[in-house]
Amino acid sequence: SSTPRQIALYRALVELGVAERVPTFAHLPLVLGEGNKKLSKRDPQSNLFLHRERGFVREGMVNYLALLGWAIGPDRDVFTPEELVSAFDVRDVNPNPARWDQKKAEAINADHIRLLPLAEFTSRLLPVLREAGVLGPQSGMGELARLKAVAELIQTRIQVLSEAVPLVAPFYVRGAELPIADDARAQLKDDAGAVLDAALDALEQIPGDFPQPLGGGVEWTTERIEAALREALVEGMGLKPRFAFGPLRTAVSGQRVSPPLFESMEILGKDETLERLRRLRAEL
Q: Specify whether 12 is located in the same domain as 89.
A: yes
- Res 281 pLDDT > 70: yes
Bridge partners, 99 (sequence order): 32
Last residue of a domain, one of 148, 172, 196: 172
- Res 127 pLDDT > 70: yes
Count other Cβ atoms within 10 Å, centred on residue 183. Answer: 11
Mean per-residue pLDDT, 180-184: 95
Q: Specify whether 185 is located in the same domain as 278.
A: yes
Average model confidence (pLDDT) for the chain? Answer: 92
Q: Specify whether 55 is located in the same domain as 121.
A: no
Q: Specify whether 56 is located in the same domain as 132.
A: no
Q: Specify whether 93 is located in the same domain as 11.
A: yes
The band of 207, judged by pLDDT with boundaries at 50, 70 and 90, is confident
Q: Specify whether 46 is located in the same domain as 72.
A: yes
Q: Specify whether 25 is located in the same domain as 96.
A: yes
- Using the 8-state DSSP alphabet, how is residue 282 labeled? H
Q: Specify whether 106 is located in the same domain as 122.
A: no
Q: Specify whether 26 is located in the same domain as 77.
A: yes
Q: State what percent of residues in the chain have pLDDT above 90.
A: 80
Could you give the dihedral angle defined by the CA atoms of residues 16, 17, 21 and 23, in that order, rounded to the nearest 10 degrees? -60
d(CA 274, CA 202): 11
Note down the domain range covering 187.
176-283
- Using the 8-state DSSP alphabet, how is residue 135 labeled? S
- Res 219 pLDDT > 90: no
Q: Specify whether 120 is located in the same domain as 104.
A: no
Instruction: Give me the CATH number covering residue 252.
Output: 1.10.10.350
Instruction: Give me the CATH number covering residue 85.
Output: 1.10.1160.10
Query: What's the total number of domains in the chain?
Result: 3
Q: What is the pLDDT of residue 212?
A: 54
d(CA 29, CA 24): 16
Q: Specify whether 7 is located in the same domain as 68.
A: yes
d(CA 139, CA 78): 34
Q: What is the pLDDT of residue 24?
A: 86
The closest of 198, 231, 219 to 269, measured between CA atoms, is 219
Instruction: Give me the CATH number covering residue 157.
Output: 1.10.8
Mean per-residue pLDDT, 205-232: 78
Last residue of a domain, one of 95, 111, 127: 111
Could you give the dihedral angle defined by the CA atoms of residues 180, 184, 190 and 194, in that order, rounded to the nearest 10 degrees? -60
Q: Specify whether 184 is located in the same domain as 134.
A: no
